[in-house]
């Protein structure tokens, strides 16, 4: 199977960064704690990254499986 990104153009752009989370002020004047941001987990086998797991602040998870050419 041909990898999806084979032959695709790359874009020279600044790297992504986490959105800025503002602290909300409760009606009583006490600051509420900011929501926890996204987290990224990397599953490795030896020196190779096998899977990247991104967990959103809302709890949704996205898993990216990393495939390598045979013999590499």
- pLDDT(32) > 70: no
pTM of the model: 0.47
User: HEC string of the chain?
Assistant: CCCCCCCCCCCCCCCCCCCCCCCCECCCCCECCCCCCCEEEEEEECCEEEEEEEECCCCCEEEEECCCCCCC
Backbone angles phi, psi at 28, to 5 degrees: -80, -10
Of the candidates 60, 61, 59, 37, the one whose C-alpha atom is nearest the C-alpha of residue 51 is 61
- Domain borders along the chain are 35-72
pLDDT digits (tens, 9 = 90+) for 37-70: 889 999 998 888 999 999 998 889 999 999 888 8
């Amino acid at each position: 199977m041909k990898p999806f990104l084979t032959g695709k153009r790359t874009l020279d752009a600044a790297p992504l960064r986490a959105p800025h989370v503002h602290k909300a002020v409760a009606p009583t004047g006490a600051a509420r704690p900011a929501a926890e941001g996204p987290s990224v987990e990397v599953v490795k086998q030896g020196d190779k990254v096998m899977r990247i797991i991104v967990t959103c602040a809302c709890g949704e998870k996205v898993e990216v499986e990393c495939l390598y050419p045979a013999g590499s």
